[in-house]
Amino acid sequence: MFTGIVTDVGEVLAVMPRAEGLRRLIVGCSYDRASIALGASIACAGVCLSVVETGERHGRTWFAVDAAAETLAVTTAGTWREGARINLERALKMGDELGGHLVSGHVDGVASVSAREDLSDMARFALTVPGVLAPFIAPKGSVAVDGVSLTVNQVDGNMFGVLIIPHTLDVTTLGANREGDRLNLEVDLMARYAARLLEARGAP
């Protein structure tokens, strides 16, 4: 589990095709190599991936993850190339502060930036989501966008708006996003379970 509070912005150092549609990604980061265990989960732009290798290059830590064909197809991971910057978050540990909201790292779909408005003290994003995900998004609810926990301000059909404070713009990749960019979206876990419960109750 994660919280949607980004702890580092990594850089994709290499992308290597593997067997059966897998793709190995080498990601540079500022984490201490000794603190990254093999098999550990790291959210990469909101996608939960397992560490399969670690190392150092020019004094900088890197870790390797394998992205499966399904992950490459339903998230933005399939478009990552060398030099891409991605939000990183280590898995939540017992006793850690839950500063955002509970995030699983299982991306539900890809949202697109319909508009960005830069205000004096923050930025307003309008994001369009696939129609099947729109019912899971509600005003004042939570979403994770490229791994960043955000509060929904308004909803209009399959479009929703968020306000992003300067700190978030500075310490995540959202500061560089513009109209037309595609971002990984995870809806709130509670909304997902509530919808499934209603579906089950309505079943004959």
Q: pLDDT tens, position by position, for the chain (204 residues)?
A: 999 999 999 999 999 999 888 999 999 999 999 999 999 999 999 999 999 999 998 899 999 999 999 999 999 999 999 999 999 999 998 778 888 899 999 999 999 999 999 998 899 999 999 999 999 999 999 999 999 999 999 999 999 999 999 999 999 999 999 999 999 999 998 887 777 777 777 755
Q: Contact, 105 vs 41, CB < 8 A?
A: yes
CATH topology of domain 8-90: Elongation Factor Tu (Ef-tu); domain 3 (2.40.30)
CATH topology of domain 109-200: Elongation Factor Tu (Ef-tu); domain 3 (2.40.30)
Beta bridge mates, 183: 111
Q: Contact, 87 vs 146, CB < 8 A?
A: yes
- Single out the residue of 102, 74, 78 nearest to residue 3, CA to CA: 102
End-to-end CA distance of the chain: 34
Please report the pLDDT score of residue 200 as a whole number.
78
Dihedral sign for Cα atoms in the order 96, 100, 104, 107: negative
CATH 2.40.30.20 domain span(s) along the chain = 8-90, 109-200
For the chain, state the CA radius of gyration.
17
Q: What are phi and psi of 49, to 5 degrees?
A: -130, 150
Please report the pLDDT score of residue 194 as a whole number.
78
The structure tokens listed for 56 are: 């150092």
How buried is 1 (Cβ within 10 angstroms: 0-12 exposed, 13-18 middle, 19+ buried)? middle
Q: Contact, 8 vs 30, CB < 8 A?
A: yes
- Residue 47 makes CB contacts below 8 A (sequence gap 6+) with 67, 71, 75, 77, 105, 107, 147, 184
Please report the pLDDT score of residue 19 as a whole number.
85
Please report the pLDDT score of residue 203 as a whole number.
57
Please report the pLDDT score of residue 192 as a whole number.
76
